Chains A and B, each alone.
Chain A
Amino acid sequence: MGNKTNLPSATRRLFLRRSLLALGAIAAAPAMTTQAIAKTADSASALSSLSVLSQEEYRILTVVGDTVVPRGGAFNLGALDIDLATRIDSYLDPDDAPMLQGLRGALMFLEHKAPALAKMEGTFSALPAPQREGLLLALRDTGGDATAVYAALRGLCTFYFYTHEHAWPGVGYDGPLVKRGRPVYPQVEA
């Protein structure tokens, strides 16, 4: 993962074609500016204390979250409102090396390789919002590793967004009947 040569050539051609179509179709749509996103991410990260993700990974994941669950639309709340990347970070297992490797690979592939495959200049997080969404959907339709990146990042974002209590009013879910924190794990030396 993280290297465009990992994509089989037929898939890559298909990817390029679909990516360009998808990106072309949304090019004229209004966009949240790159600076606005960077600003949100920076201010959130200043407040957050990350336990697993690096600042760079956090920044990219923040933009991915904003693409998967943007503000507005069917309900107002978006990923940026709950600092989704910090929430995800708090659930990542620092000892789960394969999972972290996969996540890091997916983020780096998306940020640095995916736009180039679609002949876009720059990085994923620097694209306007509609193009970011278009790029993710193009990955979905590509197959192979690209689809895996789409599925993994989408799944991570929606799972931790919709299990957050602030998301529940927007989807009409009245939440658990017992109000309790996370279960307590006894602290012992390992």
Chain B
Amino acid sequence: MIIQGHEIFAPLKLKTHSVVVGSGAGGGVAAYHMAAAGLETVVLEEGGYFQAKDFNQREEDMMPALYRSKGQQTTTDGMIYVWQGSTFGGSTVINTADATPIEAEVLHHWQQKFGLSELTEDNLAASYKRVYKMLNVHRLEDQILNANNKLLLETANRLGYKAGVFESNRKNCVGSGYCFQGCAYDAKQGTNLTYLPKASELGARIYTDVRVDRIERLFGGKYRVHATVVARGSRKARHPVEIDCERIIMAAGTVHTPAILKRSGFDKGLPQLGKNISLQPQIGLSAVMPDSQKMTSWRGAPQSIYMSEFDDNHAEHGLGGFRMEGVGGMVGIFSHFGNTIGHDHKRLMAEYPNTHFSALLVPDQPSGTLDWEWGPDGKVKPKIQYKLTEEWKQRFKRGYKTAAEFLFEAGAREINCNSPVFGPITSPDQLSRIDEFPLEPGMVALTSAHVQGSCRIGLNADVGVVDQNLQLHNLDNIFVVDGSVMPTTASTHTMVPIMVMADRAMHKLAQGA
């Protein structure tokens, strides 16, 4: 059963076995396993319940409806946009449905550096099988690949570089191009269309527009969840909710899960809570191609092809290097690219159909920290403190130069990025300008779609927040199953890694193992 906030007109008191906080990648999987095990399960989701019929394929409407802080959540210095979904289905509703596993080198890194001996490919194999089946993961069909993405593959082939087509969790995708705005065709297989409806069929009660504020410990090892029904849109507090339960599964995402734990006073004895954040920052690049070379970046699967020649994944550091991936479907955000205004900017925008858009992804090492403030109504204001390391900056510049060379090889006439100050590069002999690229607040807008860490797995409370079964080190029966548990960035895309880790832990728990 799905109960929306506007259907609740009075304070609510409930009792249940398990409460799942958040309904995204991790929460969806947890809800399904708890309900499938026959346990009375309540899911609490702060965001609203939106369906295919509500998605109008327009950024200015869908970002406020589906994204955390309307898509305006940033690091405290404003330099990196930290995109997260906040709706029934969480970020799986707004992602581009690229399905990538945890890289083998990352698992080796976790084993070597953190001693996580249980997280092996063999031990995760059954979870991959279950998750891939539920999500219908398969290689993207050729007919929905667009010229914008194919440019990467064709150029890579010419240069002898590694590149490939993503696997994806779609079903009957028509290639509309609007994944970032929610799928109006129910093709993208997010938790909103898979795990959550299945959990609901199995008896789970899913409340949307209900924000969890804190958890209270009760006698006898039980818990009380304190939550608030909020108005959709404004998120103003409406009614209090209290739920007594035996088990809590946190899946509010990397930024909000540790906030709830902190507010509940559970940070005592967990020195790593809110630390070790990875953002995997990326920058958007645009390349104006010859008039005859139509890219039509807004149609077809928006992010379907990668160029991975410069990936540098090793057991010593996990993910490294840099890579390029095609992106599309956002005329508003792409209008920020370039540093001009007036007629110069209009000329650039008039090239939209023959402009190629891609993202340069540069994996990072965990180096961010979270801090929070709470308003009088209990609403949390997260502060994401994050500083780019020198090593990352140098790798970014190498990546930018390589990407620009690659795009000139592909036929680009002019290359811009999401910086209001850095002017266009119009020929390969200008690449040395990238050495002076202004990686400073206000000078560039980087994006993170893969915030991880903050409740990382570790062998004990000194080094981690949860154990390898994703249970809090300092309390029984509280689990964390979202992106926050990743010790370092798990893969180039994080949905499947989160689901697989959640599946392993929740399947074990449901089986009583």
Residues of A with Cβ closer than 8 Å to B?
A: 67-70, 72-75, 91, 93, 95, 99, 133, 136-137, 140-141, 143-144, 147-148, 150-151, 154-155, 158-163, 168, 170-173, 176-178, 180-190
Contacts and interface: CB of A to CB of B under 8 A. Distances in A.
B315 interface: no
A68 B442 contact: no
A183 B54 contact: yes
B442 A148 contact: yes
A73 B234 contact: no
A91 B61 CA distance: 9
B83 interface: no
A190 B237 contact: yes
A172 B352 contact: yes
Minimum-distance CB pairs A-B, first 6: A176-B57, A186-B6, A190-B236, A73-B343, A158-B335, A74-B350
Contacts of A182: 56, 61
A183 B56 contact: yes
Contact of A163 (B50, B184, B331): B331
Interface string B328-357: 000111111001011101110110110000
Given A72-B343, A183-B50, 8 more contacts: A67-B342, A74-B349, A147-B420, A162-B332, A177-B184, A186-B6, A190-B234, A190-B236
B233 interface: yes
Nearest to B7: A186
Interface string B101-144: 00000000000000000000000000000000000000000000
A67 B341 CA distance: 8
B238 A188 contact: yes
B417 to A, nearest CB: 13
A180 B350 contact: no
Interface in B454-510: none
Interface string B437-452: 0000011010000000
B342 A68 contact: yes
Contacts of B342: 67-70, 73, 133
A179 to B, nearest CB: 8
A183 B65 contact: yes
Given A68-B345, A162-B331, A171 B60 contact: no
A160 B353 CA distance: 19
A186 B353 CA distance: 37
Interface string B37-71: 00000000000101000111111111011000010
Given A67-B342, A158-B336, A172 B353 contact: yes
B331 A171 contact: yes
> B interface, how many residues as a size bin?
35 or more
A170 B335 contact: no
Contact of A176 (B178, B343, B443): B178
A159 B339 contact: no
Given A140-B420, A158-B335, A186-B232, A74 B298 contact: no
Contact of A171 (B50, B56, B352): B352
Interface string B59-89: 1111011000010100000000000000000
Given A140-B339, A141-B421, A180 B56 contact: yes
Contact of B56 (A74, A91, A161, A176): A176
B5 interface: yes
A39 to B, nearest CB: 21
B176 A177 contact: yes
19 contacts: A67-B341, A68-B341, A69-B341, A136-B341, A140-B420, A151-B421, A154-B336, A159-B332, A170-B350, A173-B298, A178-B56, A180-B54, A180-B56, A180-B57, A181-B56, A183-B62, A186-B4, A188-B238, A190-B231
A189 B238 contact: yes
Nearest to B340: A137
Nearest to B236: A190
Contacts of B65: 183
Contacts of A172: 350, 352-353
B232 A158 contact: no
B482 to A, nearest CB: 25
Contact of B345 (A158, A159, A188): A158
B474 to A, nearest CB: 35
B58 A159 contact: no
A73 B347 CA distance: 7
B232 A155 contact: no
A151 B298 contact: no
Given A133-B341, A173-B331, A190-B238, A150 B352 contact: no
B61 A183 contact: yes
A118 B64 CA distance: 38
Contacts of B62: 183
Nearest to A90: B60
B420 A159 contact: no
A154 B238 CA distance: 37
Contacts of A68: 341-342, 345
A136 B65 CA distance: 32
A155 B420 contact: yes
Nearest to A141: B421
Given A171-B349, A190-B236, A144 B442 contact: yes
B420 A69 contact: no
A171 B237 contact: no
Given A140-B339, A159-B60, A162-B331, A151 B236 contact: no
Contacts of B231: 188, 190
Contacts of B442: 143-144, 147-148, 151
A163 to B, nearest CB: 4
Nearest to A158: B335
B395 to A, nearest CB: 25
